[in-house]
Amino acid sequence: MTPYDVLIIGAGPGGYVTAIRAAQLGLKTAIVEREHLGGICSNWGCIPTKALLRSAEVYRNLKHARDFGLSVDGARVDFPAVVKRSRAVATRMNTGVGFLMKKNKIDVIWGEARLTRPGEVAVGPASKPAIQPQTPPPKGTLGPGTYQAKHIIIATGARPRVLPGLEPDGRLVWSYFEALKPERMPKSLLVIGSGAIGIEFASFFHTLGAEVTVVEVLPQILPFEDTEIAAFARKAFEKAGMTILSGAKVTALDRGDDSVTVTIDTETGRREIAAERVLSAIGVVGNIENVGLEDVGVKTERGTIVIDEMCRTNVPGLYAIGDIAGPPMLAHKAEHEGVICVEAIAGLHPHPLDRRMIPGCTYCHPQIASVGLSEARAKEKGFEVRVGRFPFVGNGKAVALGEDQGLVKTVFDASTGQLLGAHMVGAEVTELIQGFVVAMNLETTEEELMHTVFPHPTLSETMKESVLDAYGRALNM
């Protein structure tokens, strides 16, 4: 077989987007996948969780129908139907990726890939994943064999991090795989970890009626968020009825017949909490094992592959993108890295990825979104800052929606007016944050933002008001 120009290992969001861009650039392209087209994101992560959270949002609105002058009798949760819808959404996404591969004339090779030498990959039969069976290979898929390519891009993604004593067992102690497809709705759930994964599932199960406790070893929940935003979100979670334990460590799990007793060390002493199910959400770790990295001499560091600004490893012709190339471990970061990588291969001289401008979103209730430096981090870096804040309670659209609990916070360099960071909590902020992302990429200052006309009435007006507040000019507060 004629060598490929580009061969990608892994068909997650980073891998398949990279393959499409390579094909657009006229490169003969193949992609190797062992489990699911679309990867974890489309099948067991980003997309199906949002389907679950959408069901929770609809149910929350039904429960508060009277607040809007409506009467809805008999609203209840059909939990199997909720899960079924989520899985149907995942299947639709999986099928869509297959269509895109066919449309762009990208060869799909089904199996497990291993680097044998620079420019060569051996693909063997796909082993059965630990959690779920593979998606059936699409029609026209190539099978096991040895394949050559001028450029090989590793995009094997990540899996749930497992700590000793907290190992998921598939029934009582869950990873996010089991949380997406539980056998039944638990009456109580203890979530270990308050990052995006933990908080999203905590929000989902709590909204549908479970008693939820979140345990975080650090003093702050949502540890990567601005302190003020995290505190606002915590207050909202606790007001809704969640129990939050920060500065707390799970030291033991006692697994019973149909429940778990968890021992937790807190600042005030040791306590035990019983829950029907436990979700271990302590992060993810890159899939760098069994790829053959050591066979070809690829340099790794702290569980990730070392790359340069164009995603090149230390081995010529070999690249890495996405979760295995280091944090932040986000689908949109993987996609952008992949485009940069393949455009560099094609000689287009793309701009390197600026990780400071990668937004992060958490789709709980209320939603959380951020980009750039937090106030504390900006001060640590030596900036003299101007900080603006605007609450949703001062926004007409938020009040009309019945979503008046939220906050937008902006951080500026006091000397230049450069927007250093933006941090938001409230309704639909995961959709709003891109406005600040665009502004930062265009090196926009406070002056341009102040002179931008925002439509009324919209939630986006909170963004402009936050900018105005940083300079003592807020109009609606």
Q: 113-148, pLDDT tens digit by residue?
A: 999 999 999 999 987 554 555 567 777 788 899 999
d(CA 361, CA 358): 10
Do 329 and 377 fall within a single domain? no
Query: DSSP characters for 370-403?
Result: EEE--HHHHHHTT--EEEEEEEGGG-HHHHHHT-
- Helix, coil or strand: residue 35: coil
Looking at the domain assignment, is residue 69 inside a domain? no
Do 326 and 397 fall within a single domain? no
Please provide residue 400's backbone torsions phi and psi, each rounded to the nearest 5 degrees.
Answer: -65, -35
Do 375 and 460 fall within a single domain? yes
**Element at 409 (helix H, strand E):** strand 407-413
Looking at the domain assignment, is residue 476 inside a domain? no
Q: 83-108, pLDDT tens digit by residue?
A: 999 999 999 999 999 999 999 999 99
Could you give the angle at the alpha carbon of 137 between the alpha carbons of 133 and 138, nearest 5°? Answer: 140
Residue-level pLDDT at 129: 54
Do 85 and 128 fall within a single domain? yes
Q: 205-250, pLDDT tens digit by residue?
A: 999 999 999 999 999 999 999 999 999 999 999 999 999 999 999 9
At 406, which CATH number?
A: 3.30.390.30
Do 13 and 105 fall within a single domain? yes
Looking at the domain assignment, is residue 61 inside a domain? no
Of 280, 304, 337, which residue is a domain's last?
280
Which is catalytic among the residues 349, 365, 423, 456?
Answer: 456
Residue-level pLDDT at 136: 72
Looking at the domain assignment, is residue 448 inside a domain? yes
Looking at the domain assignment, is residue 360 inside a domain? no
Of 312, 346, 380, which residue is a domain's last?
346
At 152, which CATH number?
A: 3.50.50.60
Active site residue 64: no
Please provide residue 98's backbone torsions phi and psi, each rounded to the nearest 5 degrees.
Answer: -60, -40
What are the Cα distances from residue 421, in Å, to 227, 352, 365, 393? 13, 20, 22, 22
Do 413 and 452 fall within a single domain? yes
Binding residue per annotation — 282?
no
Positions of the chain with pLDDT under 50:
130
d(CA 177, CA 477): 44
Binding residue per annotation — 198?
yes
pTM for the predicted model, two decimal places: 0.95
Do 149 and 181 fall within a single domain? no
Number of folded domains in the chain?
A: 3
Do 333 and 453 fall within a single domain? no
Do 259 and 326 fall within a single domain? no
Q: Across-strand partners of 31?
A: 8, 108
Looking at the domain assignment, is residue 240 inside a domain? yes
Q: 178-196, pLDDT tens digit by residue?
A: 999 998 999 999 999 999 9
Domain range for 411 is 366-470
Do 130 and 276 fall within a single domain? no
Binding residue per annotation — 196?
yes
Binding residue per annotation — 424?
no
